[in-house]
A and B are shown apart, each in its own frame.
Chain A
Amino acid sequence: MTDPLNVCREKQGLFDGPDSPRSVGWTTPQRVVLADQSCPLPLDCGVDFFPVTVEYETYGNFSEAKDNAVFLLHALSGDAHIAGWDADWEKDKRPWRRDRPGWWDQMVGPGKAFNTDLYYVVCANLLGSCYGTTGPWENNPLTGKPYGLDFPVVTVQDWVRLQVRLQDYLGIDKLLAVAGGSLGGQQALAWAMNYPERVRSAIIMAASARLSAQGLAFNAVGRQAIMNDPCFQNGNYYDGKPPANGLELARMLGHITYLSYKSMEGKFGRRYENGSQPGYHLDKEFSVESYLEYQGRAFVRRFDANSYLYLTRAMDYFDAASAFRGNLAAACAEIDAKLLLLSFSSDWLYPPRDTREIAKAMLANNKSVTYVELLSDYGHDAFLLETDRTTPMISSFLGKV
């Protein structure tokens, strides 16, 4: 998805400041070791992996009945800092968090969709990402050097397996809900399929049971951009210059897939960056070129190229029906959770027809399901931007779980 904060800022103008009654206020990341030598994390690739540290944040209070916990699941470029203002940005060297709240701040806070007055909201950074949870940037204890490409290939199911450990660590028997958009929505689906006894509902936004061939293709080109950068050095770039050009290109490409024909026309049209005439040169001319470059450069300052490779690969591999010979209905047979599926009409990365397949699979099992297709011009980013319309649906749904 697009850097959510940039798009939200464009749309909404201002954030809720740390003192706003609608903000969760100042937050501090927590870290916990959830896999060690005595209890490694079994990965789909066959590796028993350790050590694993997980960075997570929590908001709101865990009820005495322990029945109000919600796991929010982040997407490709996200982190555990989902709402509020990071009190530790300086200590953790995350300057991009200085001027802006967490990436889903519009949705998480007092009175918001995920109402922190009612719910205990938890978000953890993904394994292989670069925001505090173990990833390829971290030192491999066996070599004393960063893992780089020695990091094992991880999957959506691996992530959920690790999140289950966090659930146990936090003493949550059954989650009220798991929720996420895009790659986060796929984790929510995996949760509902693989751990029916642990989750009462799942909110799946702008996601499907599997990425399309078109989506695979975009990810492949993005990875090629990174791996073909001379600075990539087979992933061992942590001592020198990172493959910034490659990552920037990958991000620019990804960005195109998060927007829509209409949103790009509306936002940029054929506007020139300077003036209104061709300058007859090959540098940046059009607004859309500068925008993509800006987004690419901002991303490079806060993201690790190896993490990008691993997370897009997990996105590629996810196929909810793969263990059932492609039969999604069979894969959904064990789901006990109530599902809320939200799709967006102009999303062509995870188009409504693909989200609808999950709904059909539930109905094929004679299970009830809620499936909504929202008319929106925002493309895949709609799940971040259409908060005015998704908020009442999510809060009503959560209130009736």
Chain B
Amino acid sequence: MQKRTRWDHDLIFDLIPAGSSVLDLGCGNGELLARLVEEKQVRGQAVEADPDQVMAAIHNGVAVYQGDLDRGLAEFNSKSFDYVVVEKTLQALRRPLFVLEEILRVGEVCIVSFPNFSYHEVVKMLVETGRMPVSASLPYQWHDTPNIHLFTLLDFLDWVEKQEVTVVSGYAWGAFGYRNLVLPEDITGAEELLFVMRQTPEHDARS
């Protein structure tokens, strides 16, 4: 079985065609982008706020711009990347909706993954212990977590509903490994989620 924390990593690697341009936001140590650059010859740019991770990304040979995503992506031209990747970062941002709008502007296709707070094990922990859940997807204590905007699959789909966004595909990770999103089961069955989406063409035409 794939390592839990890597499933989205590997899936994103498979989803991105060779030779694309990729913007990886909150790249961490840059491992994914380094792999894409080396094995799929993508034109890669990473953005990362954490100084130690920036250093690790440089060590992995990734072009990394040290910056704060919450300030938006003003540095980046509209539709300047084939793919924008936001791997398990949205929940740690101060302005997640603003950043979602920005990635839809900058990327032709956007790939986001996030932990699902309505996952039944998480809910169970919360209800049964009366304390903030700690799991592989949420491996922090309440006081040291970077996750300030936890949300659920349905929260995300509500947002999608209100935007001019086309979901190309959705994937769920759970006890079953990963699969194409199944509703309503994955509302509580998915521990983590991944969506591939793009601005709907009408929106493109207007902007």
Contacts and interface: CB of A to CB of B under 8 A. Distances in A.
Contacts of A363: 45, 65, 75-77
Contacts of A371: 64-67
A400 B51 contact: no
Contacts of B80: 366
Nearest to A396: B59
Given A363-B76, A364-B77, A369-B63, A396 B58 contact: yes
A375 interface: yes
A332 to B, nearest CB: 13
A103 B71 CA distance: 39
B58 A368 contact: no
A5 interface: no
Contacts of A364: 75, 77
B66 A373 contact: yes
A370 B76 contact: no
Nearest to B54: A372
A80 B92 CA distance: 48
Contacts, number: 53
Interface string B57-81: 0110111111100000001110010
Contacts of A400: 61
Given A359-B65, A363-B65, A393 B44 contact: no
B55 interface: yes
Kindly name the residue among A364, A370, A371, A389 whose own CB sees the greatest number of chain B CB atoms within 10 A: A370
A400 B67 CA distance: 22
A59 to B, nearest CB: 24
Given A363-B75, A364-B75, A375-B51, A396 B44 contact: no
B120 interface: no
A368 B75 contact: no
Interface in A381-401: 389, 392-393, 396-397, 399-400
Dominant SS at the B interface?
mixed
Nearest to B34: A400
Contacts of B21: 366
Nearest to A339: B63
Given A338-B63, A359-B65, A364-B75, A369 B55 contact: no
A368 B45 contact: yes
Nearest to B21: A366
B3 to A, nearest CB: 25
Nearest to A371: B65
Contacts of B77: 363-364, 366
B45 A369 contact: yes
Nearest to A338: B63
B43 interface: yes
B72 to A, nearest CB: 13
A374 interface: yes
Contact of A392 (B44, B59, B62, B76): B59
A340 B59 CA distance: 12
Contact of B63 (A366, A370, A389, A393): A370
Kindly name the residue among B64, B75, B80 whose own CB sees the greatest number of chain A CB atoms within 10 A: B75
A112 interface: no
A369 B65 contact: yes
A368 B55 CA distance: 16
Nearest to B67: A371
Contacts of A359: 65, 75
Contacts of A338: 63
Kindly name the residue among B45, B58, B61 whose own CB sees the greatest number of chain A CB atoms within 10 A: B58
Contacts of A366: 21, 77, 80
B75 A370 contact: no
Closest 9 CB pairs of A and B: A400-B61, A368-B63, A396-B59, A363-B75, A368-B45, A371-B65, A360-B75, A370-B63, A366-B80
Given A372-B55, A393-B55, 19 more contacts: A338-B63, A359-B75, A363-B75, A363-B76, A363-B77, A364-B77, A368-B44, A368-B45, A368-B63, A369-B63, A370-B63, A371-B64, A371-B66, A371-B67, A375-B51, A392-B55, A396-B58, A399-B61, A400-B61
16 contacts: A363-B76, A363-B77, A366-B21, A368-B44, A368-B63, A369-B63, A370-B62, A370-B63, A370-B65, A371-B66, A372-B58, A374-B51, A392-B58, A396-B58, A396-B59, A396-B61
Interface of A: 338, 340, 359-360, 363-364, 366, 368-375, 389, 392-393, 396-397, 399-400
